[in-house]
Amino acid sequence: MLLYGHMDRKFLIAANWKMNPPPAGFDAANSPYRAESAIDVVVFPSSVDLSHCIDAQLIVGGQTGRPEPSGAFTGDISITQLKKMGCRYVLCGHSERRKNHGETDEYVAQQAIAALEVGLHPIVCVGETEEERKKEKQNDVVKKQMKDLPSGVTIAYEPVWAIGTGKTATPKDAQQMHAFIRSLLPKDERASVRILYGGSMNAANAEDLLKQEDIDGGLIGGAALKLEEFRGIVEVAESPLP
Ligand code: PGA
């Protein structure tokens, strides 16, 4: 039993900086973005900042990656290239990629498989839109998004209506979905796979979310761009659970 997580699942707090520059002080000695603690901290900078963050000794991942190792894909970056640079993680199927770049469930599964093949940890994002939740379709949507995923991925449940909106799923609703996601995993993986919550997580709501037994960390956008706010979240995750 770990103090800083549920069962044997250590909390993972991930900063998704999206298409923004790293916050000032991200590479300072006491940076909250550097994983020097009982929990895992990972940063997802935009591609142009990856090397700088790796040089600053952060644990880093790509925000997306193509499954093909190389080829005629102007403007893209491959999972193989991410691995060669020194990345350790890759986000697969963030809702902004699904929406703006047409990433399908099938493509997302291919990304996750390619990542596992080269030794990157895939964090696969799933989650329903507001419309889908209104129609109570959230379980069907997430089930479909997870259908073809390989074993060995981390999941991030990010309800689309909660991303960047300031609206957070209630801890109870989030827990319910996380438990449902866990029930979809193969039996032998249920106890070990980490399921992160994403969608307007901040220093003030982190404790109530992380207390839920199936929430194993956070994928954080807006609040991860504010260094002290992000430190607050990391500190919550580093405190023994009440
Ligand atoms: P948010 O973004 O924390 O700003 O809601 C989360 C994400 O998109 O990963």
| pLDDT tens-place string over residues 73-129 | 999 999 999 999 999 999 999 999 999 999 999 999 999 999 999 999 999 999 999
- Mark whether 235 is an active-site residue: no
The number of the ligand 1 atom at minimal distance from the alpha carbon of 202 is 3
Mean pLDDT of 202-228: 97
Q: What distance in angstroms lies between residue 71's CA and the mean position of ligand 1's atoms?
A: 31
Phi/psi of residue 141, each to 5°?
Answer: -60, -50
Q: Which residue in 144, 113, 142 sits closest to 126, CA to CA?
A: 142
E-strand stretches of 108-191: 121-126, 154-157
* Residue 200 alpha carbon, nearest atom of ligand 1: 5
Q: Please give the torsion angle defined by the CA atoms of residues 132, 137, 141 and 147, in that order, rounded to the nearest 10 degrees.
A: 180
Average pLDDT value for the chain: 95
Residue 208 has pLDDT above 90, yes or no: yes
Report the residue among 154, 200, 230 best suited for mutation to probe ligand 1: largest number of ligand atoms under 8 A from its CB: 200
CA of 202 to the centre of ligand 1 (A): 10
Q: Which residues pair with 89 in a beta bridge?
A: 61, 121
Q: Which of 13-17, 33-37, 224-228 has the lowest mean pLDDT?
A: 33-37
Atom 7 of ligand 1, residue of closest alpha carbon: 221
Please say if the pLDDT value at position 1 is more than 60. no
CA distance 231 to 59: 16
Segment 126-165, tens digit of pLDDT = 999 999 999 999 999 999 999 999 999 999 999 999 988 9
User: Phi, psi (5° rounding) for residue 172?
Assistant: -70, -45
Query: What is the CB < 6 Å shell around ligand 1?
Result: 16, 158, 163-164, 198-201, 219-223
Which of the residues 94, 103, 121, 229 is marked catalytic? 94
**% of the chain exceeding 70 in pLDDT:** 97
Q: Does the annotation count 158 as an active-site position?
A: yes
Question: Residue with the nearest Cα to atom 3 of ligand 1?
Answer: 221
Cα 116 to ligand 1 centre (Å): 24
- pLDDT at residue number 175: 97
Q: Which residue has the higher pLDDT, 133 or 35?
A: 133
For ligand 1, the distance from its centroid to the CA atom of residue 60, given in whole angstroms, is 17
Place of tokens 């790293």: 22
- Mutate which of 220, 229, 230 for ligand 1? The one with the most ligand atoms within 8 Å of its CB, which is 220
Q: CA 242: distance to chain centroid?
A: 24
Residue nearest to atom 6 of ligand 1 (CA): 221
How many contiguous H segments (helices) and E segments (strands) does the chain have? 9, 10
pLDDT of residue 3: 64
Strand pairing category for 5-6 and 9-10:
antiparallel
Average pLDDT on 177-183 reads: 98
Atom index in ligand 1 nearest the CA of residue 199 equals 5
Per-residue pLDDT at 242: 65
Which of 96, 158, 178, 229 is an active site residue? 158
Q: How far is residue 186's CA from residue 191's CA, in Å, rounded to a whole number?
A: 10
So what's the pLDDT on residue 4? 82
pTM of the model: 0.96
pLDDT at 167 over 90: no
